[in-house]
Structure 1
Amino acid sequence: MQNQIELRHIRYFMVLARELHFGRAADTVGISQAPYSQQIRQLEDRVGTKLFDRTTRRVSLTEGGMKFLEYCETIIDTLDEGVSHARAASSAEGGRLRIGAIRPACVYILPMVLKEFRELYPAVIVDVFGMTTSAQLKALEAADLDIALVRPASIPGSFLAEQVCEEGLCAGVHKDHPLAQRTELTIDDLDQQPIVLFTDKVGTDYSTSLRMAIARHDVSPRIVGVFSDTAGGICLVASGLGIAVLPESSRTSASPDVVFLPISVPDVMARVIMVQPDRKVSRKARDFAAIVRKVTTESPLWKMTPRSPV
């Protein structure tokens, strides 16, 4: 049955569903009323039910017609999207751009970048993949990404890497911990406190710098656990295990049991790196990278201010 229904039937049906008047609907599609009515009857025969109630005074959708209209709208929307994608893929100014990003970049950087990029390349389809640093580097090596926004890592020689921005740190503290009443912390406040740290892994180079800063300032916290990603660290803090020192942007991963406080750790920053293949890339990829540089230079992104005293 479905194979006998043609696209023109669907379009004629949708016009009549909107106009609810055969004369106006026929004028809209550009044919006379008699053949238009014939097309609607043919559609009803092929669907196997009445789609419209007709009287001398009015035309209205039946219950079956209203349900059929929902599916027709989905069909047309999907078809229009397919047409747009096909045109974009074949256009010199179109095509596709695949962007990988760590969570802070997804939240703070890419929305502004994408807004500007769409104005420059309205036909380009941009796919955004929220991924860890290590996953992005693997995807770049497999040619599944065009640009990656990652934490500093060991970048293969076949790629170009540049720092685009950096952020300070914050301390995740359980809401019942005495330090949670403070407005901000310093590295000295970690002395003799239980803390949890990132494991030494790709994408957490600031963790090594943090360990060095702790030793340099003669601070002696008690390391009671490690975690492999921000969500894991916040989970440990929420359980009451210890304090986590995280990138400033981590405060968007809110937990009702965790308070985020600015913490001053001299000479330690969490950086975001943009990585691209070390080869000739498309103009749209070059322009996208340029917008990333512009946005990260001009915008405050994620600056955290001390909270008000409790």
Structure 2
Amino acid sequence: MDISFENVDYIYQPNSPFQFQALKNLSFEIKSGEFVAIVGHTGSGKSTVIQHLNGLLRPTHGKTKIGDFTLTSDHKPKDMKSLREQVGIVFQYPEHQLFEETVEKDISFGPANFGVATEQIKERVKTSIEAVGISTDLLNRSPFELSGGQMRRVAIAGVLAVEPKVLVLDEPTAGLDPKGRKEIMNMFYRLHKEKGLTTILVTHHMEDALKFSDKVIVLEKGTKYLEGSVQEVFSNQARLNKVQLDIPEILTVVKEINNRFGLSIDYQGQSLDELAVQVSVGLKGLKKHE
């Protein structure tokens, strides 16, 4: 599902003493099937962008398009429910949104709310728990009896059960340890590929943006500060530093290795072990030419 923002302004509490412009002339495009990271500090406009993606907010000026849906200040689609069915949002700490008596009821809530037939819901629950790695043994358990990691996966399964075409991830690994963060992000990337989703990752983890994204959009005070491929954006270290953002640590390591040993290793998503092998091979090659 294609998404575009065209010269979007958004003003909270206009014409009041508390008026605040959160988005300023913001324009970008996300193509169907892309995995795009949106990064920026608190106050950059990330949360406001998220709320435009499923019509919770409409532009004060400008236009947003999500697939066939167009939203402006004076126009919204008649079938907003259909839009929200197609855009699934995984918020920070999604486990805080669990409320039903059992895991099965919690996962079923979304599709039931959108009018999906009972038999289809059962199939979607089964498919969703398989996707997030939850056992069927847990379906009759209370979600509040589960571990924190299991609760998060149940909440994510509830979003997937609606079968959205767009998946918005708002700091989805908040509060997780490095192992848990890696597992959850690998799961999202697998789902992105398997289901052909358009995925938008809102994050402050530059490493995740580097590893998973096709494109990065950097926001600063409600404006688009940088946009481009991962390579294009993270090659602008000086510009990122101006808005208190760093390049991913792995790129700093690769740069230091190249400078120190006279190598020309190009980072293409390698693990640290793979980089170590490349460094070893590169150093052996240098010795042969001495």
Instruction: Work out which of the two has the higher radius of gyration on C-alpha atoms and give 1 or 2.
Output: 1
Quick check: TM above 0.5? no
TM bin (shorter chain)? under 0.3
TM-score (norm 1): 0.24
TM-score (norm 2): 0.25
